[in-house]
Amino acid sequence: MKEINEFITLLKEDNFSKAAEYLELLWREYKNNDYTRMESFILKGLINGSFSLAMYQIGKKNSCELLWEKYEKYQPLINELVSINTHKYKLAAKILEDKRNQLVR
């Protein structure tokens, strides 16, 4: 799936806002499909995590924390989902968490 690969690349480059916007297109497609509905929640969580870090970069620490809480709400779903994309979602979550640990102290 090219969208999650591009999302991961943008995260690694600390381009959190663009990463979230890029993944949002896929989330919109997935959220209205019964077959991909659960996966849409994972995408929503990853988007919130990425926007959280984008908010931190521009000094909006309260927004950062609120969005990170939303990320944490959806993150456990990654381990529940049976999908060919699960390993990519786990990688994206790991990158988000590592980046947060580097940025937010």
- The 10s digit of each residue's pLDDT in 32-79 is 988 888 899 999 999 999 999 999 999 999 999 999 999 999 999 999
Residue 1 has pLDDT above 80, yes or no: no
Angle at 61 between CA 71 and CA 90, to 5 degrees: 25
| Residue 46 pLDDT | 98
pLDDT at res. 31: 92
pLDDT beyond 90 at 99: yes
Q: Is 85 helix (H, G, I), strand (E, B) or coil?
A: coil
For the cut 80, the answer to whether the pLDDT of residue 9 exceeds it is yes
SS3 35: helix
More confident residue, 68 or 82: 68
Distance between CA 25 and CA 28 in Å, rounded? 5
Global pTM reads 0.94
Nearest to 39 by CA among 73, 8, 66, 74: 74
